[in-house]
Amino acid sequence: MELLRPEEVTQIASEYPEHDPTGRDLLVAKTVHRFSITRQDFDRLIWQEIDATRFLTPRDQPRTMADIRSRLAADGRSFQQLAEGLRIPGEYDPEWFKGCVRIIEQQLQLPKGRLVLVRATPAERDQSPNTRYYIRDGVHRALVVASEDPEPWPRVEALLIHPRP
């Protein structure tokens, strides 16, 4: 894990659009570390919990990337199908999955992007045991990579920001 110098953090933050809070989060963080994620570490990352993707994150169930990959495979729909479906309030919103379709169409999968991580809260670790980090930015890219389960594993760059915004 490499501790980034302030000028490196400033450069990375400038790559984010002005309206994206991730750039600001990076600038106010006390420390930012950069590292590569192995497949095993990726599988233990905690994914978001929002109503638009609730079918992938049932309440009170673990939401590691390994769990998400399994639920997505069991669902069986492609990202294109997910982006064109009918909204189910509190369970599924096709608008959210259009971001995954754009990533695939533009070939913006990792390693071309990066994940921004924060330390998991105690509640997140209780819900998803044996985890340390929550994906703060890059959830669409992470879902695309999880769905593809690439072989060989690509270089996945992550930034760990502390403290959690």
Q: Check residue 70 and give its pLDDT.
A: 97
pTM: 0.92
Q: Check residue 43 and give its pLDDT.
A: 96
Reference 161, options 127, 136, 140; nearest CA is 136
> Quick check: 102 pLDDT over 80?
yes
25/43 Cα distance (integer angstroms): 24
Helices marked H in the chain? 6-14, 21-28, 39-43, 65-75, 79-84, 94-105, 122-127, 139-148
Task: Work out the percent of the chain whose per-residue pLDDT is above 70.
Answer: 96
Sign of CA dihedral 118, 122, 127, 131: positive
* pLDDT tens column, 53-84: 999 999 999 999 999 999 999 999 999 999 99
Categorize the per-residue pLDDT at 108 as very low, low, confident or very high, splitting at 50, 70 and 90: low
Measured N-to-C along each axis, helices 94-105 and 139-148 cross at an angle, to the nearest 10 degrees, of: 70
Supply the mean pLDDT for the chain: 93
Tokens, residue 31? 């420390």
What's 15-47 look like in SS3?
Answer: CCCCCCHHHHHHHHCCEEEEEEECHHHHHCCEC
* pLDDT tens column, 5-30: 999 999 999 988 888 899 999 999 99
Categorize the per-residue pLDDT at 155 as very low, low, confident or very high, splitting at 50, 70 and 90: confident
Mean pLDDT over residues 112-123, rounded? 90
Angle at 44 between CA 134 and CA 50, to 5 degrees: 45
